[in-house]
Amino acid sequence: MNLSAISVKRKIAVSCVIIVLLLLGASSYHRIGIDILPKFDVPYVQITAVYPGASPEEIETEIARKIEDAVGSLDGLKHTTTICMENA
């Protein structure tokens, strides 16, 4: 006999098996340790700021230095690099 024939003949037994499997699945799901936002260390951070029509010197004085000062106070920061470009 194939599975479909058994399922038609023994409806109650198949229903009980399905219910047991669903309960086991629900129980296993609740025991799985899932962290939506796991903790991990990112080796770098990239910040992009756009200032249309400004020269690299203006970008450095008006934007880059302010961002560097704000980011420089972060714990664990070892190194910063700034690149200011025209038409970027």
User: Helices then strands (H, E): number in the chain?
Assistant: 4, 0
Q: Which two tokens stand for residue 11?
A: 């409806």
Q: CA 73 to CA 51: how far, in whole Å?
A: 24
pLDDT digits (tens, 9 = 90+) for 27-62: 988 888 777 777 777 777 788 888 888 888 888 888
| Distance from the first to the final alpha carbon of the chain | 70
CB atoms within 10 A of CB 59: 20
pLDDT confidence of 25, banded at 50, 70, 90?
Answer: very high
Q: Which amino acid is at 66?
A: K
pLDDT confidence of 14, banded at 50, 70, 90?
Answer: very high
Q: Give pLDDT, residue 19.
A: 97
| Domain range list for the chain | 1-37, 41-88
Q: CA 12 to CA 23: how far, in whole Å?
A: 16
**Do 39 and 33 contact (CB within 8 A), yes or no?**
no
